[in-house]
C-alpha cells in the first residue's frame, strides 16, 4: 500500500503555512481517500505547534531557528528526515521556490524520482500525475513504478485546505543533525509591494497592450497618463500585471515605454501562462500567440477600440468596444470612491 506524505513549509511570517502548502494538503487528502492510503503531513518551520492546529491527519515536524528561512542545506536535511520518518512512497510538495530548490536532491538521496509542474493527480488503482509540456500545448499523464515518487504541484491547481476547527492533531518532532552551514540568511531584499507587479495569488490578471503607447484619436501619445491609469488600477485592485509582447518589446526598440513592464510580465506563447480567476485585457489586439497564454484564465474580458479585434472573434467572454483610457479612468474613480 502507498504511504502518502505532504511536505509543507511556513510562509515568511512563520505563523502560517503557505497557500501553496495548503493546496498540496488538499491534493494529499484527495489522493489518500481515493487510494485508501495513510496520509501524513510534514512541516518545516521554526515552530510547528500552531501551524499544525486543525490539520486533518498526523503531523511530523522538523523545527527550530535553523528552519525559519529557506536554505538548501537545512531544507534538504529536513525534507529527507520527514520522508524517512513517514516511510513515504508518494511525496507531494508545493512547487514553491523553497521546495523546488531541494526536492530533486531529496528524491535522489532516497533513491526515488521526481516530477515537477504537476497540475492534477488522478487514478484509482495507479497514480496518474498530469503536467503540461511545450508551453502548455501538450498535456501528459505520467505513471511511475519507482518509489518514493515526488510530485511537485503547480500553485493554483487545487483549493487551499481550510481547517474546520483548531484541534491539535498528533504532532511528532523529528530530530535532525544540522549539516555544516555555509550560508547565512541575513534577510530578504524584495521590491516594495507597489513595485511588485507580478502577483500570482491575485484574483485578477490585468493585461496591457501596445495600444496604451499608440497615438490616440487626438493624434498624440499619452504614455505618462497611461502609466498613471495602469498603476492606479493595480494599486486599487491588487491585480497582477501582464502584457502583450509588442508592449514589452518596445523597451528594446528605444521607444517611449511604461518603465514598470519587463519581459517577465509578458503573457503568451513566448511568455507566461498565469492562473487567475479573471482577466481584463486593455489596448491589446488579442492575437493567438498572446491569447494562448490565457489558457488558465477562467473569465476573460477585454477593452479594445477595434470591434474586429481577436478578442471579439470568440476569444473573450465579454468585450467592451471602448477607449480604455476613459474606461480605466472611470473605474479607478469608482474604486477610489468605494474605498
Ligand atoms: C512566434 C511568435 C510568438 C509570439 N509570442 C507572443 C507572446 O508570447 N505574447 C504576446 O503578447 N504576443 C506574442 N506574439 C506577438 C503577437 O502575435 C502580437 O503581435 C502581439 O500580441 C500584439 O500586441 P498588442 O495586441 O498589444 O498590439 P497591437 O496588435 O498593436 O494592438 C493594439 C491594440 O490596442 C487597441 N487600442 C489602441 N488604443 C486603444 C484605446 N485607447 N482603447 C482601447 N484599445 C486601444 C488597438 O485597437 C489594437 O487592437 C508572438 C508572435 C510570434 C510570431
Longest dimension (CA), the chain: 71
Cα 248-250-255 angle, rounded to 5 deg: 145
Residue 25's closest CA among 13, 8, 3, 12? Answer: 8
Separation between Cα atoms, residue 47 and residue 68, nearest integer Å: 8
pLDDT at position 201, please?
Answer: 84
Are 243 and 207 in contact, with CB atoms under 8 Å apart? yes
Contacts of 298 (CB under 8 A, 6+ apart): 276, 277, 278
Query: Cell triple for residue 155?
Result: 500553485
* Termini Cα distance of the chain: 54
C-beta of 112 in contact with ligand 1 (< 6 A): no
- Per-block mean pLDDT, blocks of 10 residues, the chain (339 long): 97 94 98 96 97 97 95 97 98 97 98 97 92 85 98 93 94 96 82 76 95 94 95 95 94 73 93 94 97 94 97 96 98 92
Q: How far is the CA of 210 from the centre of ligand 1 (A)?
A: 6
Describe the strand order of the beta sheet including 297-304 as a list of residue ranges. 240-243, 204-208, 276-282, 297-304, 318-321
List residues bridging with 101 in a β-sheet. Answer: none
Ligand 1 atom nearest 247 alpha carbon: 26
At 131 the three-state DSSP class reads strand
Separation between Cα atoms, residue 185 and residue 55, nearest integer Å: 29
C-beta of 228 in contact with ligand 1 (< 6 A): no
Ligand 1 atom nearest 208 alpha carbon: 26
Separation between Cα atoms, residue 223 and residue 214, nearest integer Å: 8
Could you tell which of 283, 322, 331 is best to mutate to test the pocket of ligand 1, judged by most ligand atoms within 8 Å of the CB? 283
Which residue minimizes the CA distance to atom 30 of ligand 1?
210
Could you tell which of 214, 249, 261, 282 is best to mutate to test the pocket of ligand 1, judged by most ligand atoms within 8 Å of the CB? 214
pTM given for the model: 0.76
C-beta of 315 in contact with ligand 1 (< 6 A): no
Separation between Cα atoms, residue 62 and residue 176, nearest integer Å: 7
C-beta of 92 in contact with ligand 1 (< 6 A): no
Separation between Cα atoms, residue 99 and residue 53, nearest integer Å: 22
pLDDT at position 192, please?
Answer: 65
List residues bridging with 204 in a β-sheet. Answer: 278
pLDDT at position 253, please?
Answer: 66
Contacts of 1 (CB under 8 A, 6+ apart): 35, 36, 37, 38
pLDDT at position 12, please?
Answer: 87
pLDDT at position 111, please?
Answer: 98
pLDDT at position 101, please?
Answer: 97
Residue 98's closest CA among 171, 169, 188, 201? Answer: 188
Amino acid at each position: 500500500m502507498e504511504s502518502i506524505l505532504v511536505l509543507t513549509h511556513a510562509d515568511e511570517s512563520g505563523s502560517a503555512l503557505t497557500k501553496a502548502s495548503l493546496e498540496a494538503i488538499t491534493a494529499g487528502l484527495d489522493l489518500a481517500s481515493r487510494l485508501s492510503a495513510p496520509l501524513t503531513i510534514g512541516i518545516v518551520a521554526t515552530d510547528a505547534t500552531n501551524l499544525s492546529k486543525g490539520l486533518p491527519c498526523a503531523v511530523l515536524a522538523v523545527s527550530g531557528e535553523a528552519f525559519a528561512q529557506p536554505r538548501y542545506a537545512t531544507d534538504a536535511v529536513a525534507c529527507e528526515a520527514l520522508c524517512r520518518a513517514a516511510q513515504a512512497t508518494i511525496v507531494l510538495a508545493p512547487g514553491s521556490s523553497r521546495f523546488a530548490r531541494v526536492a530533486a536532491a531529496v528524491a535522489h538521496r532516497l533513491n526515488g524520482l521526481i516530477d515537477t509542474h504537476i497540475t492534477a493527480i488522478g487514478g484509482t488503482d495507479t497514480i496518474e500525475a498530469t503536467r503540461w509540456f511545450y508551453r502548455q500545448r501538450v498535456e501528459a499523464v505520467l505513471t511511475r513504478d519507482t518509489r518514493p515518487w515526488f510530485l511537485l504541484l503547480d500553485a493554483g491547481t487545487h483549493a487551499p485546505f481550510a481547517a474546520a476547527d483548531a484541534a491539535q492533531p498528533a504532532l511528532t518532532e523529528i530530530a535532525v543533525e544540522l549539516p555544516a552551514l555555509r550560508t547565512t540568511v541575513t534577510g530578504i531584499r524584495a521590491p516594495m509591494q507597489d513595485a511588485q507587479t507580478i502577483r500570482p495569488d491575485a484574483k485578477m490578471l490585468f493585461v496591457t497592450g501596445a495600444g496604451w503607447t499608440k497615438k490616440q484619436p487626438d493624434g498624440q501619445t499619452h504614455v505618462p497618463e497611461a502609466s498613471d491609469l495602469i498603476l492606479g488600477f493595480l494599486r486599487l485592485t491588487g491585480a497582477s500585471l501582464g502584457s502583450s509582447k509588442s508592449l514589452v518589446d518596445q523597451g528594446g526598440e528605444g521607444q517611449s515605454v511604461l518603465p514598470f513592464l519587463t519581459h517577465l510580465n509578458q503573457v503568451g506563447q513566448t511568455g507566461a501562462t498565469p492562473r487567475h480567476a479573471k482577466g481584463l485585457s486593455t489596448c491589446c489586439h488579442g492575437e493567438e500567440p498572446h491569447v494562448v497564454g490565457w489558457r488558465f484564465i477562467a473569465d476573460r474580458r477585454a477593452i479594445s477600440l477595434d470591434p474586429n479585434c481577436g478578442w471579439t472573434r470568440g476569444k473573450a467572454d465579454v468585450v467592451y468596444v471602448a477607449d480604455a483610457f476613459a474606461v480605466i479612468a472611470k473605474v479607478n474613480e469608482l474604486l477610489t470612491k468605494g474605498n
